[in-house]
Structures are given as C-alpha cells and as structure tokens.
C-alpha cells in the first residue's frame, strides 16, 4: 500500500478554524454514523481515503488534532489494548489533514524514515496501517487533524 499525498482537497471551511482552539486535546471515538460538530469534515476526509484504501469494514473512527506539537516515533494503534495486553491492533489507514501550515520551517511528517512530507495548508496525507512515523521539530504554525478509521471499536 502506498502513501498518498493530495493537495487542495477541501473547499475553505470557516467552521474548521474553530478546531485550532477547540477539539485538539485527546482522541475522540465516533461511530461511523454518529452525529457530531465535525462530522461533515470527518466524512469528507474518509470519503477521499476510500478512493485509495478499502474502508468497507469501517465501523467508526478516532479524531484528534495537533496544534504546534511534534510527535516522536510511533505507530497509530489501539493504545489501551497495547498497554493492557501487548497486542497490536491498527486502523484501516491513517490520515493527516493540514488545516494550517504557515511561516513554517521544519515540521515534516516522516514515515518509516524514508519519506518526509512537508506540511501544506489543505494537504491530506493517507498512509498504510502500522507504519512508524513522527514529526520533525519546527517553527511556525502547524495545525494537523487526524482521522483513523477502524473495523472494530477501540479498547476501553
């Protein structure tokens, strides 16, 4: 499976700017058909991802964001299941949407030490499950929103 990089994926949406100061702390789980404030955005991203990854088994997704933060090397996985049992369970794919990238130096999303992807406003990156990835240190404004579809609920 390939990493997909798409630019100018969504029309400008003023309601998403609220995400810069809202909704960025912690991961939220949503059933696929559950209504919530950002459902239209999440559904739009998943509809794009469906063109590249088989999401027919998806029952829900996790949604969170980063505003000015970096992450160390990690895999997107069911964190609670991994900490309780050591078992690794991965989403159907991982998505990173750049809501804002401005006056930015650094901050590349690095996947498996091979691919460095520069953040760009309205860019969507979709990559395979279980890939190690992280974010390089940066200066400037970098707001990313992440939606990972799952075929089963996350462990509680």
| Per-residue pLDDT reduced to its tens digit, 115-135 | 899 999 999 999 999 999 999
Residue 30 has pLDDT above 60, yes or no: yes
What pLDDT, on a 0 to 100 scale, did the predictor assign at position 62? Answer: 94
Region 9-32 average pLDDT = 71
Q: Which residue in 37, 63, 49, 68 sits closest to 10, CA to CA?
A: 49
Concatenated DSSP letters for 56-124?
A: TT--EEEEEEEES----SB----HHHHHHH------S-EEEEEEEEEEEEE--EEETTTEEE---TTEE
Q: For the chain, which residues make up each domain, given as ranges?
A: 4-19+27-149
Domain 4-19+27-149 has CATH 1.10.10.60: no
């Amino acid at each position: 499976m390939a990493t997909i990089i798409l630019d100018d994926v969504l029309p400008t949406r003023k309601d998403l700017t609220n995400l810069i100061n809202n909704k960025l702390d912690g991961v939220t789980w949503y059933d696929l058909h559950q209504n919530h404030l950002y459902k239209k955005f999440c559904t739009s991203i998943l509809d794009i991802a469906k063109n590249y990854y088989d999401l027919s088994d998806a029952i829900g997704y996790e949604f969170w964001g980063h505003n000015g933060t970096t992450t160390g090397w990690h895999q997107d996985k069911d964190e609670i299941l991994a900490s309780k049992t050591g078992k690794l369970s991965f989403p159907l794919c991982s998505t990173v949407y750049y809501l804002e990238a401005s006056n930015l130096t650094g901050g590349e999303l690095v996947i498996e030490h091979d691919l460095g992807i520069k953040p760009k406003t309205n860019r969507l990156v979709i990559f395979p499950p279980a890939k190690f990835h992280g974010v390089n240190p940066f200066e400037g404004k970098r707001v990313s929103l992440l939606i990972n579809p799952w075929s089963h609920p996350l462990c509680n």
